[in-house]
Amino acid sequence: MRHRPLIKRLCLAGLLAATGGASAGIDVRVEGLDGALRNNVNQRLGIRAEAGRDDLDVALVEALHRDAFRDILVALQPYGYYNPVIDGQLEGEAPEWTARYRVEPGPRTLIDTVELRIEGDGADDLQAQHDTILKRLQPGEPLRHARYEDAKNTLATAAYGLGYLDARFTRAELRVLADDNLAELFLHFDTGPRYRFGAVTVEQDILRPAIVERYVTIEPGAYFDPQALLDTQFALSDLGYFSDLEILPRRDAAEDRAVPIVIRTSPRPRTRYNFGIGYGTDTGARIGTGVEVRRFNRLGHTGQAEVRLSEVKNTARGEYRIPLGTRIGDSIGVAAELTTERFDDGDSQKWGAELSLLRKPGDWRRKLYLAFTHEESELGSTRQTADLLTPGISLTRTEVDDPIYSRRGWSLFVDVHGAVREVLSPTSFVRSQVVARAVLPAGERSRVLGRAEYGANLVDAFGELPASQRFFAGGDQSVRGYAYQSLGPLDDEGAVIGGKFVSTYSLEFETRVVGNWGAAVFYDFGGADDDPAPRLLQGVGAGVRYRAPVGSVQVDLAHPLDDRDGGSGSGVRLHIGVRVGL
């Protein structure tokens, strides 16, 4: 290695000394390197890190410049360059200096010897890791420190994952023969004996032990498996009964290579209350309150009740659920609900009860239900009273990167239910509905959102079908530019009475402008009809977005492009709401 600037630096010393302790800045320039080498050198250079200090003086700048040669050498070594040529110059005077470094990496160090030995009870279990390491560390290949460290981590992680808790390196050495540009690697690894799970103790007193034990996947006597610890922690956390949870392998208390497991928990508050007020174009002013009971008893039963009041729709609902089996989210429940709703040309009042079975196979949420509903409605000039007994099934799946403000993901909702005239229903029908949503990022500040909905009703006597089972379109979550549930077939007096089919779509581009504020443009189209391919009315618009902790607050102005009679739409409609997730 050559330090050519030594004489020049000595010649500059007198000039620099005259400036004393004046404040200074250093312009640092590195030449001759590209890519990862350049980046690593820049990150390592102490003179670059200190270049903007207010208290720079001659002595400090000289010391930083002198240390820079060592910093560059150390930064190049992880890539196998142990014999670089570094020329450096320090120029200028307080308050400004320029430090230039011209670097020639030199010949690259090659791997000459690899000595990998795995001993102990787990030698055969780590054969795959042994073979992988030898493929990545071969004689004649350039030396890369990262691959050597990866090899060590691979062995240690694999051994721990298989239960070899005493595994250790008896020799881990990277020997560099700098004069010959060669490297020798020595990895001697002893797995030691394999451990098993011992007794499992769950420290909690809010549930019966048998309830908690359903979700503990740690089996005493099985080989020690860190994944089983994680699975148990996630399962118990997802139950919703505990606020804090810690799983402790008691290695110090192991006997005959059996490790006792202690699970410490802290209970969540039994009850949680919520209250909210707001405004939405579809609902008008609204207010709501609710209570969630996270556990009624030591069997883990849960419940919730809520009341939601608005200018358009009022709902009171209560539900009681009993956990089932060993899968998180599986439960059976009973619910009761009272709802009143005002349509564009009518209203509806209904009350009912529902028995449901929730299952979560994989990432899907499946609900089997049997609902009884008594409904009194008026649409246009038709008044109707009906009782319905409707069995049904719904499937839901959501995959998003952020449940509050999603930038990538999708969701799908499918529901099918129906009734038979002979069993507590005025008519026989099968009603199905599919709603799909998706979001994709568009650069760092923007996202594109899409929604598609289709519903179909196969019914014997549509005139006997209650209002809640018919399809309507229009509103914030349907086709903006049109009033809430204002799109659908009309009766002889021009009142909207709903249809057998619905089809709506939406495409929206949203971008952040400044801080939490953003803007959006959108195109919606859709309709409801008695035809399987409803006429699609269009709406376009733009709006303001504000990213709040509860979701994206939306204020939109939408213009309808069509009217019900086939002509051009007119006017502008205000839509206000909050989007959570998709």
Of 79, 104, 129, the residue that ends a domain is 104
Mark whether 17 and 163 lie in a shared domain: no
pLDDT class of 565 with cuts at 50, 70, 90? low
pTM score:
0.74
The string of DSSP letters for 422-435 reads TTT-SS-EEEEEEE
State whether 160 and 201 are in the same domain. Answer: no
User: Helices 35-44 & 58-76, crossing angle to 10 degrees?
Assistant: 140
pLDDT over 50 at 10, yes or no = no
**Residue 227 included in any domain:** yes
At 145-198, the pLDDT tens digits run 999 999 999 999 999 999 999 999 999 999 999 999 999 999 999 999 999 999
- The yes-or-no verdict on residue 286 having pLDDT over 80 is yes
> Roughly how many angstroms between the first and final C-alpha of the chain, as a whole number?
60
Of 85, 104, 123, the one marking the end of a domain is 104
- Rounded to 5°, the CA angle 408-412-415 comes to 165
Residue 12 lies in a domain: yes
- Is residue 497 within 8 A of residue 415, CB to CB? The reply is no
- Name the token pair of 104: 């020639």
Let me know if residue 324 belongs to a domain: no
210 and 185 fall within a common domain = no
Better-predicted residue by pLDDT, 565 or 3: 565
Q: Is residue 424 part of a domain?
A: yes
Q: What percent of the chain has pLDDT over 90?
A: 71
* Residues 159/160/166/171 CA torsion (nearest 10 deg): 50
pLDDT at 568: 62
> Stretch 223-228: mean pLDDT, rounded?
95
Q: Give the C-alpha separation, 28 to 505, whole Å.
A: 56
For residue 549, give Cα distances in angstroms to 32, 442, 545: 49, 22, 13
Q: How many domains does the chain have?
A: 4
Same domain, 536 and 411: yes
Which tops the pLDDT comparison, 283 or 106?
106
Q: What is the mean pLDDT of residues 352-365?
A: 92
Q: Is 325 among the domain residues?
A: no
Chosen domain end from 61, 83, 104: 104
Whole-number pLDDT of residue 566: 61
- What is the predicted pLDDT for the residue at 567? 57
DSSP state of 499: B
Domain containing residue 183: CATH number: 3.10.20.310
The stretch 489-507 carries a mean pLDDT of: 91
**How many alpha carbons fall within 13 Å on the CB side of residue 235?**
21
> Of the segments 15-24, 48-57, 126-135, 281-290, which one has the largest average pLDDT value?
126-135
DSSP string spanning 223-268? BP-HHHHHHHHHHHHHTSSEEEEEEEE-GGG-BTTEEEEEEEEEEP
* 260/233 same-domain check: yes
Reply yes or no on whether the pLDDT at 358 is more than 50: yes
Does residue 508 share a domain with residue 439?
Answer: yes
How large is the angle between the packed helices 127-136 and 145-161, nearest 10 degrees?
A: 170
Q: Rounded mean pLDDT of the chain?
A: 90
Judge if 151 and 31 occupy the same domain: no
Q: Do 479 and 437 lie in a common domain? A: yes
Confirm whether 445 is domain-assigned. yes
Q: Specify whether 13 is located in the same domain as 127.
A: no
The residue ranking higher by pLDDT, 58 or 509, is 509
Task: Give the pLDDT band (50/70/90) at residue 6.
Answer: very low
pLDDT > 70 in the chain, percent: 95
Instruction: Report if residue 328 sits inside a domain.
Output: no
pLDDT, one tens digit per residue, over 80-94 is 999 999 999 998 887
The verdict on 154 and 256 lying in the same domain is no
Examine residue 220 and state whether it is found in any structural domain, yes or no.
yes
Residues 419, 507 within the same domain? yes
3-state secondary structure of 43: helix
For residue 364, give the DSSP letter. Answer: -
Q: Are residues 384 and 484 in the same domain?
A: yes
Domain span at residue 142 reads 110-190
